[in-house]
Amino acid sequence: MPVRQRIFTFNAYFCRMTSLYHDIIFGPVHSRRLGLSLGVNLLPVSSKLCSFDCIYCECGWNADHRGQRRFNDRGEVRTHLSGALRRMTADGTPPDVITFAGNGEPTLHPDFEAIVGDTIALRDTYCPTARISVLSNATQLHRDDVRRALLRVDNNILKLDSAFDATVRRINNPAGSYTVRATVEGMKRFKGRMILQTMFLAGEINGGAVDNTTEEEVSAWLRLVAEIRPARVMAYSLDRDTPCRTLRKIPREELQRIAERVEKLGIPCSVA
């Protein structure tokens, strides 16, 4: 079975070693949020490709692709996934979840909707109890094909790390004309058929402070959570190496206090 191989990346400014997923199919890994997870990487296997460039991303910084988006071929994805699911099922260890993640943003793939369809068919054939999850930064919600695909998966997990555009720019470094308001409006179109995921952290970047756990940040974020009304919220903090070494993990107790405020809105919230 393909396993995760480590390719290390380095950026000279406030960086530490991080790693990429070197296969189309990786794992299975024990996810702290999802269970035994078989990963699907639609992005390049030698560098990261994402519409965000998060300061906490375990895959490191984005590479310079010079306009060439080298996505993995749909047919190859289907072939590799079929083989992995067949082997896991034969071994008596089917995955709890098949997760689209990997070296960047999976919904950037031009064949994302078709690949989700292929994955559902393979899941139904080999391990019908497994769930299908997508970890997305929500930058492609303006695309009809992406929204249709996300509505077909079991866990449509969308990121929102702050209610403020300025904080998003510091934490996520979005490409293009990203705004929190447009993202929230896109999330609201799912009418609750989504999971909201937020990374809470504090520290410094480029000589300035960054902290999305202040009362101003959390209160504003909670107002957006109430507006979006997701099925549930995942609040988590740092667990792996990050490209920016000046970040601090938020204690579980503080995450739990945030979760309690979410649950007062009538929305379940898990912490990790």
Q: Give the model confidence (pLDDT) of 183-201 as tens digits.
A: 999 999 999 999 999 999 9
The predicted pLDDT at position 21 comes to 72
Burial 92-111 (b: 16+ CB within 10 A, else e): eebbbbbbbbbbbbbbbbeb
CATH 3.30.70.20 fits 6-271, yes or no: no
Residue with more model confidence, 136 or 205? 136
Residues whose CB is less than 8 angstroms from the CB of residue 218 and which lie 6 or more positions away in sequence, other chains included:
212, 258, 261
Q: What one-letter code names the amino acid at 160?
A: L
- Whether the per-residue pLDDT at 130 is higher than 50: the answer is yes
Could you tell me the residue ranges of all domains in the chain? 6-271
Residues whose CB is less than 8 angstroms from the CB of residue 255 and which lie 6 or more positions away in sequence, other chains included:
200, 235, 236, 237, 271, 272
Rg (CA), the chain: 18
Cα dist. 161→11, 82, 108, 203 in Å? 23, 34, 19, 15
The predicted pLDDT at position 69 comes to 57
For residue 170, report the phi and psi dihedrals to the nearest 5 degrees: -75, -40
Q: Taking the CA of residue 239 as centre, how many other CA atoms within 13 Å lie in the half-sphere pointing to its CB?
A: 10
The predicted pLDDT at position 3 comes to 35
Tell me the average pLDDT across 67-92: 91
Tell me the average pLDDT across 169-194: 97
Q: Which of 1, 107, 125, 110 is nearest to 50 (CA)?
A: 107
Split at pLDDT 50, 70, 90, the class of 16 is: very low
Q: What is the pTM of this model?
A: 0.89
* Secondary structure letter of residue 72 according to DSSP: P
- Whether the per-residue pLDDT at 120 is higher than 60: the answer is yes
Q: What one-letter code names the amino acid at 59?
A: C
Distance of CA 13 to the CA centre of its chain: 24
The predicted pLDDT at position 19 comes to 72
Report the DSSP beta bridge partners of residue 100.
Answer: 40, 134
Distance between CA 44 and CA 71 in Å, rounded? 6
| Residue count of the chain | 272
Split at pLDDT 50, 70, 90, the class of 32 is: low
Q: Which tens digits make up the pLDDT trace of 204-230?
A: 988 899 999 999 999 999 999 999 999
Burial 220-229 (b: 16+ CB within 10 A, else e): bbbebbeebb
Distance of CA 256 to the CA centre of its chain: 21
Q: Chain-wide mean pLDDT for the chain?
A: 89
* Secondary structure letter of residue 107 according to DSSP: G
Q: Are 201 and 238 in contact (CB under 8 A)?
A: yes
